[in-house]
Structure 1
Amino acid sequence: MSTQTDNHQLLIHCFQDSLTGAALKWYMGLDSTKIRTFNDLCEAFIRQYKYNLDMAPDRDQLCAMSQRDKETFKEYAQRWREIAAQIIPPPEEKEMTKIFLNTLGPFYYERMIASAPSDFTEMVNMGMRLEEGVRQGRLVRESVPTNSVRKFGSNFQRNKEREVSMVTHGRPQQQYPGYQPQFQQKPQQQYQQPYQPQFQQRPPQQYQQQPNNQNRIPRTPQFDPIPMTYAELLPALIE
């Protein structure tokens, strides 16, 4: 493959075959006009997934890890070691074994603290031997019951009720007379009718019936006689 370092088409093709999932979808969406060489593809890939460096696990995350339920010691050690390999800069072997020992439960911690090995592989083998001893019945691994707090709470509640009942029956209860408020009734006010003004009614006026004039005979106007004849009057009217 070292002889093909200048063959950019072959390198891009091999890089494409190594991608899966979201990375493959990102590669298929690239602009082919901007990716001409394998170096261009490497720079684009680094810009896309550079955020993984900022989200890389740190030592605080290693210290906060713990063994899960129904998880063997070997499985927990492998999961813890994979997270530790992502830390930059990587921890040294001595520091790594110290952090891993502090994440173990009381059963492993009490038996390994006295002779804790400085090699991580040896510490894993020691934990696996302790786990095998529990499986064979030679060692007893005590577990704190999860309902211990609930039992204590129920007993405390019962004792509290018992003390209250003793105090109640031992001493006579003091009775307080009930307070009954007294209200003064106000005298009822007599209702007075509102003032109504009185008006004097005038007597109806009597109208006199006027006499009917239908039986009267109309008068004919009388004029003085003309002192000439109509023939003599006509020329004067025309002028």
Structure 2
Amino acid sequence: MKKIDSAASVQQTEFKKKRTRLAPEVRREQILEAALVEFNALGFTAASLSKIARRAGTVKSNIYVHFADKDDVFETLLEGLMARSQGNWSRMQDVQNAAEFIERFIDSAYASLTDDTIAIARLLITEGHRVPHLLAKWSAANVQARRDRQALVDRFVAEGKLKPSPLTEHFSFVMAPVVYSAVTQMVLGKEQAMEEVLAVKETHRKLLAMLLRPA
């Protein structure tokens, strides 16, 4: 009987450890990290707030302190992906020439291929059709972001910093090698894909130099 009591005591202690009071922003981030794992493991429909809470070391009611529902959690993950992309492009605003533009773009684009970015991208591909309302909302925000990026490229072309070409006319096409690298990571795993991704990155850099540097 003592052994059973002891085991129960250990379990209670472990649960209390997991439920340590944290700053709201820290707890919110833990919930998002747990949700990303659950969504990728089980799919959006099968993942529940209870399972997400358990993985995050909290209780379901605490999730409602930070998020309205499961849709809100999913949408927040997508917004985070968009925010990182926008943050990368904000670094491009003050470039002085094509060489600087290319270096900043290549470095930020391939640095963005983190584990969580790949996980969210995989989630979009596999589960997006299950939440069309969220996907439509994310897509609308993405359209505006693409327009903003295109406007920046158009400005650099007008200023003579970039050479006009079919690429600058529809600059979203520039992301094709990055998307290929992301898919390669999804299929092969980060370690096995590393050599191919590095080769693509260097080839991408050379192609942009050929296409964007003014004569």
TM-score range, shorter chain: under 0.3
With normalisation by structure 1, the TM-score equals 0.25
Higher Cα radius of gyration: 1
Which structure: greater helix fraction? 2
- Between the two structures, name the one with larger relative contact order (CA 8 Å, sep ≥ 6): 2
With normalisation by structure 2, the TM-score equals 0.26
